Amino acid sequence: MIIGFDISTSITGVAIVSGGQLVHYGSIDLRKYKDVFDKTVVMKEYLLGLLEKCQLENDKIVEHIYVEQSLHMFMGGKSSAKTLSTLTRFNGIVSWLIYELFEIKPKFIGSTSARKHAGIKVPRGKKAKQVVLLHLLENESSFKIEYTRYGNPKPESYDHADAIVIAKAGWEVENL
């Protein structure tokens, strides 16, 4: 069993893949918590629950954990130095919690590499998040999303999708 995480200070996505098949996905909404410390407490509680769930399913042992690597550079108009610093700090804290609780060193994979391993090609000029969402809706029967009243995917849909791609990429990497 492989767990994939798309760690973010707003919504963190989580997915579990077993035998290459998606068996669980979800997210933790952290937007209402003010600082990294409050967000960390909530993440720790979630991770403890996830660990307990995994331990109850004795036939399914977590073998590997993959985490989407945090951004390392500015992206035009998207990420300030403060945002990158906070995200990297939170990614490190959550990665440490994962290691401490699951006793597995998480492996880090970049989003571009993960999409490649998962067989997703993003055409030039297209937004990766939308391409990933569409790919999963078309190719992953258990993946469902909810829409806003305006017909747009709810924000957590993208985090679910990213976590699924990370978990599936992890499975590919481990089974090459």
| % residues pLDDT > 90 (the chain) | 79
pLDDT at 28: 97
Kindly give the interhelix angle for 128-139 and 155-174, rounded to the nearest 10 degrees: 70
pLDDT over 70 at 59, yes or no: no
Answer whether 140's CB lies under 8 Å from 22's CB: yes
Of 8-22, 67-81, 93-107, 113-127, least confident by mean pLDDT is 67-81
Range ranked top by mean pLDDT from 17-26, 47-56, 70-79 = 17-26
pTM metric for this prediction: 0.91
pLDDT tens string 141-151? 999 999 999 99
Kindly give the interhelix angle for 36-56 and 81-102, rounded to the nearest 10 degrees: 30
Of 56-60, 62-66, 95-99, 102-106, least confident by mean pLDDT is 56-60
Distance from C-alpha of 5 to C-alpha of 22, rounded to nearest angstrom: 13
Query: If pLDDT is split at 50, 70 and 90, which confidence band does 85 have?
Result: confident
Query: If pLDDT is split at 50, 70 and 90, which confidence band does 176 have?
Result: confident
Answer whether 169's CB lies under 8 Å from 109's CB: yes
User: Which residue did the predictor score with more confidence, 77 or 170?
Assistant: 170
pLDDT at 1: 92
Q: Give the distance, in angstroms, between the CA of residue 135 and the centroid of all CA atoms in the same chain.
A: 16
Of the candidates 133, 136, 140, 96, the residue with the CA atom closest to the CA atom of residue 5: 96
Distance from C-alpha of 7 to C-alpha of 13, rounded to nearest angstrom: 7
Distance from C-alpha of 77 to C-alpha of 172, rounded to nearest angstrom: 33
Run of H or E residues at 156: helix 155-174
Query: If pLDDT is split at 50, 70 and 90, which confidence band does 74 have?
Result: very low
User: Which residue did the predictor score with more confidence, 112 or 81?
Assistant: 112
pLDDT tens string 110-129? 999 999 999 999 999 999 99
Could you tell me the CATH superfamily of domain 2-174? Answer: Ribonuclease H-like superfamily/Ribonuclease H (3.30.420.10)
